[in-house]
Amino acid sequence: MTEIELHVHTCDGVEPKLIKIASDATVEQLVNAIQAAGAAIGESGEEIILWIENKEVTCRKHQKIHEHGIKHGHHLRFHRGQIKVKVAYTGHDDYEGEFSPEATVGTVKLKAMGKFEIESGAADKYVLQHDNVNIDDKVKIGALGKCEVKLVLLLKKPQEKGYAG
């Protein structure tokens, strides 16, 4: 039996924890190892959603970890319950809310716009940024790989018209 090392990202904002586990371990054994490392990962149900190298994968607890593509050195993330989201908008207090990992960036944008008293009909004129990168409205909050997400609401720049002189 060979052991592999995995980097487990927890919700407490610290560096990932390095765990060792048998390469033929089950997902349930992986969950137990993650819990033993001090992470708060859910117990309920036969399935668990893990983000393996930033790809969302639904894992069945009785299956082997290698069946889900988990390999030595991989980074694993998981979400338990809701993700805390903070949205900044110039001149206003931050919007704060909790969302399911399945919620889209567009849903968060509309909620934040309501707090900032911006009409929802103007949603296509605004964009949310994460780490200075525009995020498409269809992206799921859970795909950002964190339990706390900080976003910035910005007015999109209008398309410049060409000058025919």
Percent of the chain residues past pLDDT 90, beyond the cut: 48
Q: How much is the pLDDT for 161? A: 53
More confident residue, 35 or 3: 3
Phi first, then psi, for residue 94 (nearest 5°) are: -60, 145
Q: How much is the pLDDT for 126? A: 96
Residue 12 has pLDDT above 60, yes or no: no
Residue 22 has pLDDT above 80, yes or no: yes
Q: How much is the pLDDT for 39? A: 65
pLDDT tens per residue, range 79-98: 556 778 999 999 999 999 98
Asked, colleague to colleague, whether 3-78 and 83-155 share their fold, the answer is: yes
- Token pair in block for residue 8: 């487990």
What are the domain boundaries of the chain?
3-78, 83-155
Dist. CA 83–CA 93, nearest whole Å = 20
Distance from first CA to last CA of the chain, Å, rounded?
A: 73
Q: What dotted CATH number matches 83-155?
A: 3.10.20.90
**51-55, 110-114, 150-154, 161-165: least confident range:** 161-165
Q: What is the pTM of this model?
A: 0.55
Q: Identify the band that residue 137 occupies on the pLDDT scale cut at 50, 70 and 90.
A: very high
Dist. CA 155–CA 12, nearest whole Å = 32
Task: Report how far Cα 62 is from the mean position of its chain's Cα atoms.
Answer: 25
Q: How much is the pLDDT for 164? A: 47
Q: What dotted CATH number matches 3-78?
A: 3.10.20.90
